[in-house]
Amino acid sequence: METSNTIVTNIFKPFQHHINAEQDLREEIRNIMKDIEKPLREIITQLQVIHHKENCEQIGVACQKSRELFEEVRNGFDRLDKIIPEGQYYRYNDHWRYPTQRLCFLAALIVYLEKGFLIEKDTAAQIIGMDGKEHLHLDLEDYLMGLLNLATELSRFAVNSVTYGNYNRPLEISKFVAELNAGFRLLNLKNDSLRKRFDALKYDVKKIEEVVYDLSIRGLLPGGDQASTEPTSDTQDS
């Protein structure tokens, strides 16, 4: 007859194998994410040109180089997809959630710089390499976080564009971010982190409005498109 100590040992002994296997998997995930984060940082560096150079050709070159770097990102997610167990996406996604949000933001920024419109979720998934995967997918929250980060980056872009004498760019950005803000207001956000980040969007909108208004009262907006009212002091709560 087995003793109580033997019974407990037999129960707990397999647990260590499970713990070791999970630790090994997480280490492998971390190594793959390091390979993904390297081109991510390089893409960020490439796109910083928008804050230092107003030359459209240089911005176009930066976008093209960034798209080439995304190939490394896609290769990384291909490898990651092969090691994630079936149905375990949310068990391990803390490893790639934040990088994915950053990648969505960068993909959105490239599309805006190239085309001037908002990236769709499916297109973002294709660019970063999360489309058509067996075990990975682009989470809606990560996509929306990327768009909110885009608004913040564009508010900075609007200010720096004035520095380089492009007075039309802030007006274009103002219209785009206002439309983005209107889109988010259609959502009834319950997620705490997403809701908190969305609350900061009103400050991005206000900052850009102030840039446009300042240009307006100085008579610097192109085509006589001058503002008749001051920027809103606050954005209405959704």
Q: 174-216: per-residue pLDDT in tens?
A: 999 999 999 999 998 886 889 889 988 999 999 999 999 999 9
Q: Between 227 and 238, whose confidence is greater? A: 227
Question: Which amino acid belongs to residue 11?
Answer: I
Using an 8 Å Cβ cutoff, are 225 and 173 in contact?
A: no
- pLDDT for position 228: 46
Under a CB-based contact definition with an 8 Å cutoff, are residues 133 and 167 in contact?
no
* DSSP code for 220: -
What whole-number distance in Å separates Cα of residue 198 and Cα of residue 147?
Answer: 10
Predicted pLDDT at 238: 39
Number of C-alpha atoms within 13 angstroms, CB side, residue 205?
21
> What is the end-to-end Cα distance of the chain in Å, rounded?
68
d(Cα 236, Cα 184) in Å, to the nearest integer? 13
Q: What percent of the chain has pLDDT over 90?
A: 71
Q: What's the average model confidence in pLDDT over 32-60?
A: 91
CA-wise closest residue to 158 among 215, 103, 104, 120: 215
How far is Cα 58 from Cα 52, in angstroms, rounded to an integer?
10
Domains for the chain: give ranges and CATH numbers.
Answer: 1-138 (1.20.58.190), 144-238 (1.20.58.200)
